[in-house]
Amino acid sequence: MKLVKAGSNWVAGDRFFNRDAEIEALMERVQDGRHTLLTAQRRMGKTSLVRELLRRLDEEGSFETIFVDLEGAFSPADAIAEIGIQTRSMQKTWSRIMSGFGNVVHELRDSVDTVGIADLWVKLRAGIDAGNWRQKGDEVLTALAENERPVVLAIDELPILVNRLLKGDDYRITVERRRTVDELLSWLRKNGQVHQGRICMILSGSVSLEPILRQAGLSAQANIFSPFELKPWDERTAVACLAALAENYDLTLPPEVCRNMCQRLRCHVPHHVQQFFDSLHEHLRRTGRRRASLEDVEKVYNEEMLGVRGQVDLEHYDSGLKMILGREGYRTALEVLKLAAIEDGVLRGDCIGRFREHFPAADEGDPIPIEDVLHVLEHDGYLARQGDRYRFVSGLLEGWWRTRYGGGRASSPSISAGSAHKAEQWP
């Protein structure tokens, strides 16, 4: 099998590899009309999985599909406008939705071909405000539910909107902000229930919804969505992906080379597998060769994957943490990761105790207790719990943090939390 390299954006069709079992499971949920919350750590291929699912559903023809990205939404009204605008290819539904927009209706109905999407969005958005978004939202979803074929509504990056609404720019959860989130989720939940069987929702996001709702005490609001965890590829699949990429670019990657690549990554996040292949391919091109050796893998891993390229990727992980944890919680997370990195990838139970002393939960300077920080780090796939300790899941992430903050490997595994504390200047 041949596979075309991915950029860093989502993939579908001939760039989409494997995930047959996941597609089958999601197809079954769609057939059964079950709403899904897709969860996974960053870059695992959530958006790609949903896009590919919708592509196959479109091909098959029993469902109408809509993909909505809420990354740019700042309010419930923005979200409704975004869902509304994505219905524009469904002629009847679009007309019905627009007829709810009073005097702009003719303009909107006629302008779909002539006005750019951005202009159309602005016009649509002008008819929705903080007072009527629920009513307008109900109209949009009712119109969708009345479509001839049932609709699969995929909403990506809802957690980013929820997080924004909940914490604002100062990362403080206020009563007012919590109420807004509660209203948005109640609205979604109500519509999910009312239109069960006509609209099947799939939620996903680059940051996880569950820890955010937990911070706000609103976890129950998501319980109409059955969680579906997208796991990393196993080693056999990652090796098969490398082989398919190699075949397409006429490269020879001997089995021990593929295995070595996978062992270094330890956790086979599809994006990391793709990045590793691309870096190796570029390296071979530069040196005018087509066959990779173990030495090539070592060089590319240390210089590219852990080097500039890796640090660029690490920024994405960083930004997700900052967004969820806020300034103070992020600072704690950095210390946790830094300490685990220099301690051979392990955060020991006694170190967690020290964090508790340094960052007490109720301290007004730090609204995020260490338990919540660890929960986010665990949920987002950085660390896995093992008894009373935590360990880095991915060899690559461990390497990144060690390179960036650890200043090289810890000279001895017996280095104490106390000495790390001094060396790294904990606050």
Residue 70 partner contact from Mg ion, ligand ATP, none using kind-dependent CB cut-offs of 5 to 8 Å: none
How deeply is 406 buried, as exposed, middle or buried, from its count of CB atoms within 10 A (0-12, 13-18, 19+)? buried
Measured CA to CA, the distance from residue 356 to residue 360 in angstroms comes to 5
Instruction: Identify the bridge partners of residue 226 per DSSP, sorted by sequence position.
Output: 36
Shortest distance (Å) from residue 209 CB to ligand ATP: 13
Shortest distance (Å) from residue 366 CB to ligand ATP: 27
Measured CA to CA, the distance from residue 208 to residue 190 in angstroms comes to 22
Measured CA to CA, the distance from residue 350 to residue 369 in angstroms comes to 16
Number of residues that bind ligand ATP (CB under 6 A): 22
Q: Say what angle helices 417-424 and 308-342 make with each other, to 10 degrees.
A: 140
- CB 168 within 8 Å of CB 110: no
Residue 406 partner contact from ligand ATP, Mg ion, none using kind-dependent CB cut-offs of 5 to 8 Å: none
Q: Quick one: which H or E segment has residue 120?
A: helix 117-126
Task: Give the x/- contact pattern for Mg ion in 42-61, rule: CB under 5 A.
Answer: ----xx--------------
| Type of residue numbered 250 | D
Shortest distance (Å) from residue 241 CB to ligand ATP: 7
* Residue 39 binds Mg ion, judged by CB under 5 A: no
* Structure tokens belonging to residue 107: 């303009």
Residue 279 partner contact from ligand ATP, Mg ion, none using kind-dependent CB cut-offs of 5 to 8 Å: none
R_g of the chain, CA atoms, integer Å: 24
Long-range contacts of 111-119 (CB under 8 A, 24+ apart): 112/88, 117/85
Give which of 98, 63, 64, 65 is closest to 81, Cα–Cα: 98
Measured CA to CA, the distance from residue 93 to residue 65 in angstroms comes to 13
Q: Which of 1, 2, 9, 234 binds ligand ATP (CB under 6 A)?
A: 9
Shortest distance (Å) from residue 3 CB to Mg ion: 20
Q: Which of the ranges 40-48, 358-366, 378-386, 418-426 carries the binding residues for Mg ion, by CB under 5 A?
A: 40-48
| Position with the least CB separation from ligand ATP | 45
- CB 345 within 8 Å of CB 384: no
* Residue 208 binds ligand ATP, judged by CB under 6 A: no
Is the Cβ of residue 206 or residue 332 nearer to Mg ion in the bound state? 206
Residue 160 partner contact from Mg ion, ligand ATP, none using kind-dependent CB cut-offs of 5 to 8 Å: none
Q: Which of the ranges 2-10, 25-33, 71-79, 289-297 carries the binding residues for ligand ATP, by CB under 6 A?
A: 2-10
Shortest distance (Å) from residue 410 CB to ligand ATP: 30
Is the Cβ of residue 242 or residue 347 nearer to ligand ATP in the bound state? 242
Query: Using CB under 6 A, which residues numbered 40 to 79 contact ligand ATP?
Result: 40, 42-48
Q: Which of the ranges 35-43, 168-176, 214-222, 292-300 carries the binding residues for ligand ATP, by CB under 6 A?
A: 35-43
Measured CA to CA, the distance from residue 11 to residue 24 in angstroms comes to 18
| Type of residue numbered 407 | G
Shortest distance (Å) from residue 225 CB to ligand ATP: 17
* Residue 339 binds ligand ATP, judged by CB under 6 A: no
Measured CA to CA, the distance from residue 346 to residue 398 in angstroms comes to 10
Say if strands 226-229 and 199-204 run parallel, antiparallel, or are unpaired: unpaired
Q: Which of 17, 171, 228, 317 binds ligand ATP (CB under 6 A)?
A: 17
- CB 187 within 8 Å of CB 165: no
* Residue 215 binds ligand ATP, judged by CB under 6 A: no
Check residue 305 and report its DSSP letter. Answer: I
Task: Give the x/- contact pattern for ligand ATP in 225-244, rule: CB under 6 A.
Answer: --------------------
State the residues that interact with Mg ion by CB under 5 A: 46-47, 206
Site residues, ligand ATP (CB under 6 A) = 6-11, 16-19, 40, 42-48, 206, 270-271, 274
